[in-house]
Amino acid sequence: MAVVRNNKRNKEIINWFRQNAVSEQSELHYTNPFELLVAVILSAQCTDKRVNMVTPALLAAYPNAKAMSKAAVGEIFGYIKSVSYPNSKAEHLLQMSRMLVSDFGGTVPSSIEELMRLPGVGRKTANVVASICYNEPVIAVDTHVFRVAHRLGLSKGKTPFEVEQDLEKQIPPKDRARAHHWLILHGRYVCKANKPDCAECGLHKLCPKLLQGSKLSKK
């Protein structure tokens, strides 16, 4: 496990987010756990904007797990063909819905372990649903969170799971559900992959931009 070096600075960074975060909500559109689960599965390597264009018609046709479980994979594909990897995602949505019906009575489970049993659901997706819908004290690590955690020196973990563990050691349980939004939105709009907007970043003075040993220190 990577050792986080500057505990005082990291506490200041987390406190800055606590005081200054503009939004603490997902940019995916949903009204219940099933809709969020569908949206997060579709969002893998795809923008939230594109997913939000696809889900209204998809969820109007299949508003719950029971309805989607009766669809043909080709029918689901027709609704989601503009997202990335539509063939595999259509299959995942169908099999996920069938398992929700057969194993969970059509209800999206709240535990990480049960969520990860569902087809198409990895740890990141499970953490997103568990934290947003059920306020579980976990942090989902996607590419934005991974990048920002490295650049800010909050983690030097080599895998998303290691970064998740580092973040959870530093962020109190009561803040973890919203901390995912702090980091992902900061990465999406400020600490961008290719052209980070350092001049407009409120963390400019706290950011160890070239932290020695960071996988992303050269970016």
Q: Dmax over Cα atoms in the chain, in whole Å?
A: 55
C-alpha torsion 177→200→143→216, nearest 10: -120
Q: Among 194, 140, 184, which Cα is nearest to 17's?
A: 184
Question: Catalytic residue among 89, 142, 156, 166, which?
Answer: 142
State the amino acid at position 204 in one-letter form. Answer: H
142 is catalytic: yes
State the amino acid at position 199 in one-letter form. Answer: A
Length of the chain: 219
Sequence-distant (6+) residues with CB within 8 A of 219 are: 147, 151, 193, 194
Q: Among 110, 146, 144, 142, which Cα is nearest to 129's?
A: 110
State the amino acid at position 60 in one-letter form. Answer: A
Question: Catalytic residue among 89, 124, 156, 166, which?
Answer: 124
Helix (H, G, I), strand (E, B) or coil at 89: helix
Q: Are 179 and 167 in contact (CB under 8 A)?
A: yes
Sequence-distant (6+) residues with CB within 8 A of 182 are: 17, 21, 24
Catalytic residue set: 124, 142
